[in-house]
């Protein structure tokens, strides 16, 4: 029997599938579409998502597919105003290996995830549509449009804002939305424009954005929609895009060609009231939709999947009791609420800036858009208080750490995988690193340069237990080995 069925093959579903397949969980990914999406859609991975995907082995592939530095070239009423680069000062540090967002189309992220998933022997099943399901205390039965059925232990919906699964489950999707399109989108080729910058025109007519992609002739277009004589939105097309370009830029030499992924975008700010009912879970846009400010959509979904993958895997592998699955909603629903708040504020700031020369989309940078400060201090899985700024529930920082043979290494290399990691700071912590369960990796830290201690706020000898999703589970004194064992036993 299939253990987990995932509905939807976007970044959320694929990240979850990779996280489960890596643990040996039998997973199927079904996708209603007959072919993979080709539109650029989401175009940034924030630093936290880069850490997640690097843990899955995609770090080098992503770096080769995107760019980390993209200047924002801003115009007002057709005239150049200034150029800024939000991550110009971002530098890699011992604790933060990915200080800047990576710019690349969502299609490339999905392709790399599918390739990784295929290495685990799993392929996406296209043209496979869920039309209904039933569940009981033992499992879920999925019914397909072609009459087929899939029996599974769990079902995870990653099927977007119009989620079939969420509707069948009857979970309210609370919030509000604008019935009229506020933006048209598309992928185009552009002649007459420098592909080294994201070009942003603001002014009385609205906004017109052209963002290039590394190693491609494609640009993503986003713009205030064209309207007809009756004030109705004109459907996106190459001809409409060309007229919008002339209107906003004042240039007749700017030529757009080969338009694909023609789309409209409406403001929707909604969140599911529950992330789980029985053996069915919601993740990604299925659970929350919000304004585009800050580029958090794809990232929040990836991080939903990262949180759920280890928990679902641990329950299925017998390493944790089913009650662990309750912490998925406990931890991720407040993050979604925060995301809706900051992106709504960011969108308001961008809209307010349309009539101000020099304002661009970076006006939407409200709160921490890197994802590095987001944690779960409120969670029942966060144990122990520390004197320093790092607390249980926080993201576990990276730091230099010698490998098993003394060669240079980093903590993130020790974290990579589906195990807990027990960091032992100082000689008196060594006894606590022995005789641990197989799913706990001990890492002794002499830390001669003190970088790991600074990152973790540790001054004396201490123990730090890190979860499989690289969040701090427990902070304890060096002699508190029993606290670690008690924490792990409580999961059972």
Pick from 306, 308, 288: which is nearest to 296 by CA?
Answer: 288
| Helix (H/G/I), strand (E/B), else coil: 265 | strand
Give me 378's structure tokens: 């409120």
Listed range (31-35, 346-350, 409-413) with the worst mean pLDDT:
346-350
Same domain, 294 and 154: yes
Query: Is 369 inside any structural domain?
Result: no
Same domain, 99 and 190: yes
Q: Is the pLDDT of residue 208 over 70?
A: yes
Task: Name the domain boundary from 250, 266, 282.
Answer: 266
Distance between CA atoms of residues 491 and 319, nearest Å? 8
Same domain, 243 and 340: no
Partners of residue 44 on adjacent β-strands: 103
pLDDT interval class at 366 (50, 70, 90): low
Apex 253 CA angle, 238 and 361, nearest 5: 70
Q: pLDDT, tens digit, for every residue of 373-423?
A: 999 999 999 987 776 789 999 999 999 987 667 777 899 999 999 999 999
Same domain, 429 and 469: yes
Same domain, 249 and 301: no
Query: Is 360 inside any structural domain?
Result: no
| Residue 292, pLDDT score | 85
Number of structural domains in the chain: 3
Distance between CA atoms of residues 178 and 93, nearest Å? 42
Same domain, 329 and 456: no
Query: Is 361 inside any structural domain?
Result: no
Query: Is 337 inside any structural domain?
Result: yes
Query: Is 149 inside any structural domain?
Result: yes
Q: Give the domain range for residue 325.
A: 4-61+104-175+269-349
pTM for this entry: 0.96
Task: Name the domain boundary from 244, 266, 288.
Answer: 266
| Residue 462, pLDDT score | 93
Which CATH number covers residue 396? 3.40.30.20
Computed over every residue of the chain, the mean pLDDT equals 93
Query: Is 278 inside any structural domain?
Result: yes
DSSP state of 225: P
Same domain, 50 and 124: yes
Which CATH number covers residue 254? 3.30.9.10
| Residue 126, pLDDT score | 98
Q: pLDDT, tens digit, for every residue of 425-443?
A: 999 999 999 999 999 999 9
Query: Is 397 inside any structural domain?
Result: yes
Same domain, 320 and 452: no
Same domain, 153 and 216: no
Same domain, 387 and 476: yes
Q: Is the pLDDT of residue 190 over 90?
A: yes
Residues 6+ apart with CB under 8 A from 461: 424, 425, 426, 427, 428, 429, 477, 478
Task: Name the domain boundary from 314, 334, 349.
Answer: 349
Q: Is the pLDDT of residue 230 over 90?
A: no
- Counting residues of the chain whose pLDDT is more than 70, the rounded percentage is 98
- HSE-CB at 89 with a 13 A cutoff on CA atoms is 1
Same domain, 162 and 55: yes
Distance between CA atoms of residues 341 and 213, nearest Å? 29
Which CATH number covers residue 121? 3.50.50.60
User: What does residue 267 show for φ and ψ, rounded to 5 degrees?
Assistant: -70, 125
Same domain, 229 and 203: yes
Pick from 288, 284, 297, 295: which is nearest to 209 by CA?
Answer: 295
Query: Is 364 inside any structural domain?
Result: no
């Amino acid at each position: 029997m299939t253990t987990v069925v995932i509905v939807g093959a976007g970044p959320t579903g694929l990240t979850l599938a990779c996280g489960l397949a890596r643990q040996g969980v039998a997973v199927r990914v079904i996708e209603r579409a007959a072919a993979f999406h080709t539109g650029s859609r989401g175009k940034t991975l924030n630093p936290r998502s880069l850490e997640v995907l690097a843990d899955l082995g995609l770090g080098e592939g992503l770096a080769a597919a995107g760019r980390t530095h993209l200047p924002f070239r801003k115009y007002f009423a057709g005239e150049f105003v200034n150029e800024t680069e939000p991550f110009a000062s971002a530098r890699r540090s011992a604790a933060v290996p990915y200080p800047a967002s990576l710019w690349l189309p969502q299609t490339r992220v999905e392709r790399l995830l599918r390739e990784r998933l295929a290495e685990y022997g799993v392929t996406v099943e296209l043209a496979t549509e869920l039309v209904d399901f039933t569940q009981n205390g033992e499992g879920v039965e999925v019914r397909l449009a072609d009459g087929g059925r899939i029996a599974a232990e769990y079902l995870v919906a990653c099927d977007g804002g119009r989620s079939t699964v969420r509707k069948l489950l009857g979970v309210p999707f609370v919030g509000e939305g604008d019935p009229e399109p506020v933006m048209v989108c598309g992928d185009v080729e552009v002649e007459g424009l420098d592909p080294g910058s994201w070009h942003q025109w603001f002014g009385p007519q609205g906004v017109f954005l052209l963002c290039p992609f590394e190693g491609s002739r494609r640009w993503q277009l986003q713009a205030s929609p064209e309207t007809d004589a009756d004030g109705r939105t004109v459907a996106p097309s190459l001809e409409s895009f060309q007229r919008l370009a002339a209107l906003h830029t004042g240039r007749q030499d700017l030529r757009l060609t080969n338009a694909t992924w023609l789309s409209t975008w409406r403001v929707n700010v909604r969140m599911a009231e529950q992330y789980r009912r029985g053996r069915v879970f919601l993740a990604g846009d299925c659970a929350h939709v919000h304004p585009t400010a800050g580029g958090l959509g794809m990232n929040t979904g990836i991080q939903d999947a990262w949180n759920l993958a280890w928990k679902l895997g641990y329950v299925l592998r017998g390493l944790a009791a089913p009650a662990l699955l309750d912490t998925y909603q406990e931890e991720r629903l407040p993050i979604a609420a925060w995301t809706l708040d900051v992106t709504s504020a960011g969108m308001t700031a961008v809209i307010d800036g349309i009539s101000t020369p020099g304002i661009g989309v970076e006006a939407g940078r409200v709160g921490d858009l890197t994802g590095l400060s987001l944690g779960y201090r409120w969670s029942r899985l966060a144990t122990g208080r520390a004197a320093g700024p790092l607390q249980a529930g926080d993201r576990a920082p990276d730091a230099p750490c010698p490998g098993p043979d003394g060669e240079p290494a980093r903590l993130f290399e020790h974290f990579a995988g589906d195990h807990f990691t027990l960091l032992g700071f100082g000689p008196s912590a060594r006894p606590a690193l022995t005789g641990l369960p197989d799913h706990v990796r001990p890492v002794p830290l002499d830390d001669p340069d003190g970088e790991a201690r600074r990152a973790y706020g540790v001054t004396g000898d201490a123990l730090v237990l890190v979860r499989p999703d690289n969040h701090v589970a427990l902070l304890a004194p060096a002699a508190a080995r029993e606290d670690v064992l008690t924490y792990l036993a409580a999961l059972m």
